[in-house]
Amino acid sequence: MPAFELSIATTEFRGRMTERLRGGSQTPKVVWQDEGRRVVLHTDSLALRSLDGWLLINLDLETDQTKRKTIQIVFFTGRKSESDGVQAACTINAQGPEAAQLADAWGREVQRVLWDAVLDGVEACVARVASQVGNQPVTLGGFFSTPQSIVVSVLAGV
């Protein structure tokens, strides 16, 4: 069964994440609303860093009550030596009571949108291999982070 390893540069994920957070808007500030609550996302503040096994994302959020504060979404994606898995873990870091309030109210939704952007990249890798191998079935073998990229392993064949 042939195995393919495809790399996606961390910088490419920043664009994917920004697009998802903006939901089609071209402005750097977008407002999310949910049941009367509102938050401003400062998408131009999005900072992304990849380490061996980790993806760190900082984003500024703002409400009238909290003012502008940074929350950090941390994904553990695995290391090369652990690349046979398709699972990840996440935590949200917030410094100070206002940032913690933002993280409690909006962190899980921001996390979901950012992870969807990562999954978009993984899905693109699987689709690329599928287009190269013709009618052979393809399976996601795993993924991991390096300091420059996320590496996706795709298996082709039976």
Q: What's the mean per-residue pLDDT of the chain?
A: 93
The model's pLDDT over 90-125, given as tens digits with 9 standing for 90+, comes to 999 999 999 999 999 999 999 999 999 999 999 999
Note the pLDDT of residue 158: 61
How much is the average pLDDT of 30-49?
Answer: 96
How remote is the C-alpha of 141 from its chain's centroid? 19
Domain count, the chain: 1
Check residue 59 and give its pLDDT.
98
- Region 15-30: mean pLDDT is 94
What would the pLDDT profile of 55-85 be if each residue is shown by its tens digit?
A: 999 999 999 999 999 999 999 998 887 655 7
pLDDT at 51: 94
Distances (CA, A) of 110 to 22, 41, 58, 70, 95: 11, 9, 11, 12, 17
Domain that holds residue 105: 3-156
Torsion angle in degrees (nearest 10) through CA of 109, 111, 116, 121? 160
In the chain, the percentage of residues whose pLDDT exceeds 70 is 97
